[in-house]
Amino acid sequence: MIVYLTRRYRFSASHRLHNEAMSETENRETYGKCNNPYGHGHNYFLEVTVSGPVNVTTGMVCNLIDLDGFVHREVLARFDVQNLNLLPEFAQEVPTTENLCSAIHDILKRGFSCAHLEKVRIEETMMNSFEIGSFMR
């Protein structure tokens, strides 16, 4: 039997959506108010879903302390209260939430091994959420 576990986390970060390869006009037309030269911020909600069989000894898919510790150490410590444009993950990419979701998925995929990573979902606003799953790649 496979069980799915989803944990929810929160972090805040700022960004400016701007592509150096495009003109100022193209950037304004593409990104609108998100192209503000001073940037803008979001309070992101991050959901991490893992799956696996229930361990007969612990009764859990994975130890929540391990999952929370990994997410806090590798994701939240890296992105919380940061300007995403200044981080190495976005040196060559526009820090859209789509790209942020992909970067977080890659971090989790590389380093968390206590359970199978199913998906990463980020809620940027009440109206926008993005998700990427291992099944989608």
**pLDDT tens per residue across all 137 residues of the chain:** 899 999 999 999 999 999 999 999 999 999 999 999 999 999 999 999 999 999 999 999 999 999 999 999 999 999 999 999 999 999 999 999 999 999 999 999 998 888 999 999 999 999 999 999 976 54
- Residue 134: which H helix or E strand, with range? none
DSSP 122: E
3-state secondary structure 68-82: HHHHHHHHHHHHCCE
How far apart CA 72 and CA 46 sit, in angstroms, is 11
Count of CB atoms within 10 A of residue 95's CB? 24
Q: What is the identity of the amino acid at 4?
A: Y
At residue 137, the pLDDT reads 46
Domain assignment of residue 9, given as a range: 2-136
pTM of the model: 0.93
- Comparing C-alpha atoms, which of 57, 68, 60 is closest to residue 108? 68
User: Domain count of the chain?
Assistant: 1
Say which CATH number the domain at 44 has.
Answer: 3.30.479.10
Helix segments in 12-63, DSSP class H? 24-31
